[in-house]
Amino acid sequence: MKLLILGGDIRQLYMNRALQKKGYRTALLLFDKQKPGDAPFLKEAFDDCDVLLLPLPVTRDGKTVNAPLCDTPFPLSAISSLLPNNKLILGGMIPFALHEQLAEKGIVHKDYYRDEELITRNALPTAEGVLGLLIQEMPVTVRGSRILVAGYGRCGKAIASLLKKNGSTVTVTARSPEARKQAAARGLKTLPLSDLPGAKADFDAVVNTIPHQVIDENLLPRLSKESILIEISSAPFGIDFDLAAKEGLRLIKAASLPGKVAPKTAGEILADTIDRLIQENKEES
């Protein structure tokens, strides 16, 4: 089976190696400063593949494929026009506009970022990345620090657990009573999201994992100017970026942490997920 890997970062290069070890034939496009517009094999590459692999995220600007290792932008709209209908597309965080284009042509596509196993396995390198950022950026040690973690999904659980193991006093704020109950059972402090406005704001750092705004005027103006804000969620994000800047707070946008702190591990996780999704697609066909 031939896989065409279109764009991405160093994770995709490790993913490529892992997929080859699994027996797949692969081709890379939009890497090593290639210029896709000048490539005579562009249409041939799309025709020749059985599966098209898009990066995570598929796009950062909503218009072009996320390809930081390529000098020339590649429009998202070109994918559906170049790809024959009998192919399979796998991508991470596929934008709605591309989803509509592919659905209209009847091209089978799956968003691997919605895969439960991938999300769970990605949580650990995400947590390690957050720990590294805090060690680097906070003016105090992680041990003994006071950290607020917003959200208690897979990433929130991994982050809170790792920080607690490293000696931080961790407070988990979440809307769900069940999530707060689970956090309390693990020895973490808890706080309902609705109680943030009246809560003591003595945190050395705030880590947000919730993909909608929850860290806003109810908390930001009351934080110390030395507090560190780390945003790991996806758009529309959970921290009010404009207000954080106005308050003079240090904000770190840390999306795709696994690819930055552990690209080999992240690439191998992607390869395992893609292999499984391909096998599942075969069974469904």
Check if the beta carbon of residue 4 is closer than 8 Å to that of residue 29.
yes
- Those residues with Cβ within 8 angstroms of residue 224's Cβ, 6 or more apart along the chain or in another chain: 201, 202, 204
Interstrand relation of 25-29 and 205-208 (parallel, antiparallel or unpaired): unpaired
Average pLDDT estimate for 57-76? 92
Residue 173, pLDDT > 70, answer yes
Looking at residue 192, its pLDDT comes to: 97
Predicted structure pTM score: 0.85
Looking at residue 255, its pLDDT comes to: 81
Cβ neighbour number for residue 135 with a 10 Å cutoff: 11
Give residue-wise pLDDT tens across range 221-231: 999 999 999 99
Looking at residue 38, its pLDDT comes to: 44
Give residue-wise pLDDT tens across range 36-60: 544 446 788 899 999 999 999 999 9
- Those residues with Cβ within 8 angstroms of residue 213's Cβ, 6 or more apart along the chain or in another chain: 236, 237, 238, 239, 240
Check if the beta carbon of residue 259 is closer than 8 Å to that of residue 10.
yes
Looking at residue 33, its pLDDT comes to: 63
Residue 88, pLDDT > 50, answer yes
d(CA 1, CA 24): 6
Give residue-wise pLDDT tens across range 90-147: 999 999 999 999 999 999 999 999 999 999 999 999 999 999 999 999 999 999 999 9
For the chain, domains (ranges, CATH) are: 2-114+263-284 (3.40.50.720), 119-254 (3.40.50.720)
Average pLDDT estimate for 71-91? 91
Residue-wise burial string across 23-56, b where 16 or more C-beta atoms lie within 10 A, e elsewhere: ebebebbbbeebebeeeeeeeebbeebebbbbbb
d(CA 234, CA 46): 29
d(CA 53, CA 7): 8
d(CA 233, CA 114): 14
Computed over every residue of the chain, the mean pLDDT equals 93
